[in-house]
């Protein structure tokens, strides 16, 4: 299927590895030029070189921490007029809400709520003027299906979802869509670090915790980041202009809906 976005430009945030990288690769496979972001310049440049070599598109690395205004300004300077924006960042650490400080809350809200909102604010009007825009926010299934210890993540991402719901109607007539992708358990470094936290808390070997979690999942496996990447690319396609304001859970039927 031709997604009709070859030659477009996409900013993919937090994309040197994991889900962000999978989105960047799926878009690059469609001929989309990529502005690739993460904080660490070394891993970012390696990822950019690998994507360029495989897909023959232009990949521009922008090393910046998007939780900081200066990081977002660097991204804006490198790419003032993208066609596609994939918002993503590292997730807040799990923990006990009784121990979270004001600084912990500030970090989570800056990274997972204010940063994507600021980038949408910086780019959506330009997309509307150009009559094409696709914005995808990678959030978490924890917004719909709470996980104990993930309160920072659930709170910050719920704020983003609430904001998105207030802007989609104003953008629809100019062919700008905004959707949220809510991953369940996908096999990335982030997932493994969450298991390490759980294993320590429960005094068990990590491998046992991982095996037990897989056994609980209806699919009997974790999601492959490439599966989320391809879904993201579809949402960014020319033909997906009538899908907006949706929050879509990708969790292998771990939390099926009745209807």
Which residue in the set 183, 231, 232, 249 belongs to the binding site for ligand NAP (CB under 6 A)? 183
Strand boundaries in the chain, DSSP class E: 9-12, 33-38, 59-63, 84-87, 133-138, 176-183, 247-250
Q: How far is the CB of 214 from ligand NAP (least distance, A)?
A: 12
Alpha-carbon torsion, ordered 197, 198, 203, 206, to 10 deg: -80
Window of 1-9, 10-18, 98-106, 120-128 that interacts with ligand NAP by CB under 6 A: 10-18
Q: Which of 67, 87, 180, 244 binds ligand NAP (CB under 6 A)?
A: 67
From 40, 54, 204, 246, residue interacting with ligand NAP (rule: CB under 6 A): 40
* Least separation in angstroms between CB 131 and ligand NAP: 29
Q: How far apart are CA 34 and CA 37, in angstroms?
A: 9
Q: Which is nearer to ligand NAP, 130 or 214 (CB)?
A: 214
32 vs 115, which CB is nearer to ligand NAP? 115
Q: How far is the CB of 20 from ligand NAP (least distance, A)?
A: 5
Kindly indicate which of the ranges 31-39, 94-102, 195-203, 240-248 contains the residues binding ligand NAP, using the contact rule CB under 6 A.
Answer: 31-39
Q: Quick one: how far is CA 218 from the chain centroid?
A: 23
CB of 95 to ligand NAP, least distance (A): 14
CB atoms < 10 A from the CB of 80, how many?
Answer: 10
Site for ligand NAP in 109-148 (CB under 6 A): 111, 138, 140
Does residue 6 come out as left (phi exceeding 0), alpha (psi in the -120 to 50 range) or beta?
Answer: beta
Residue 115, burial from CB neighbour count under 10 angstroms (0-12, 13-18, 19+) = buried
Query: Could you report how far apart the first and last alpha carbons of the chain are, in Å?
Result: 28
Dihedral (CA of 49, 179, 167, 154) sign = negative
Which of 61, 91, 133, 151 is in the footprint of ligand NAP by CB under 6 A? 91
Q: Smallest distance from the beta carbon of 98 to ligand NAP, in angstroms?
A: 22
Q: Which of 2, 129, 189, 208 is the binder for ligand NAP (CB under 6 A)? A: 189
Q: Is the dihedral of CA 84, 87, 115, 71 positive or negative?
A: negative
Q: Give the interface with ligand NAP as residue ranges (CB under 6 A).
A: 14-20, 37-40, 43, 65-67, 88-91, 111, 138, 140, 183, 185-186, 188-191
């Amino acid at each position: 299927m031709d997604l009709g976005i070859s030659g477009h430009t996409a900013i993919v945030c937090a994309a040197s590895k994991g889900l962000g990288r999978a989105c960047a690769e799926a878009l690059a496979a469609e001929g989309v030029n990529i502005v690739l972001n993460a904080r660490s310049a070394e891993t970012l440049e390696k990822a950019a070189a690998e994507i360029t070599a495989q897909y023959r598109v232009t990949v521009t690395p922008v090393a910046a921490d998007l939780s900081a205004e200066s990081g977002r300004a660097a991204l804006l300077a490198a790419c003032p007029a993208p066609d596609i924006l994939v918002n993503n960042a590292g997730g807040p650490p799990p923990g006990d809400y009784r121990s979270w400080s004001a600084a912990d809350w500030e970090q989570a809200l800056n990274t997972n709520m204010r940063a994507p909102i600021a980038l949408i604010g910086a780019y959506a009007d330009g997309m509307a003027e150009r009559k094409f825009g696709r914005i995808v926010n990678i959030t978490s299934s924890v917004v719909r299906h709470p996980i104990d210890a993930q309160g920072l993540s659930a709170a910050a991402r719920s704020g983003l979802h609430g904001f998105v719901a207030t802007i989609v109607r104003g953008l629809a007539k100019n062919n700008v869509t905004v959707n949220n992708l809510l991953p369940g358990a996908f096999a990335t470094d982030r997932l493994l670090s969450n298991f390490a936290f759980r294993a320590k808390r429960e005094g068990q070997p990590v491998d046992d915790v991982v095996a037990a979690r897989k056994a609980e999942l209806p699919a009997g496996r974790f999601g492959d980041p490439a599966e989320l990447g391809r879904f993201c690319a579809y949402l960014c396609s020319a033909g997906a202009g009538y899908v907006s304001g949706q929050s879509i859970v990708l969790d292998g039927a771990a939390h099926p809906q009745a209807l």
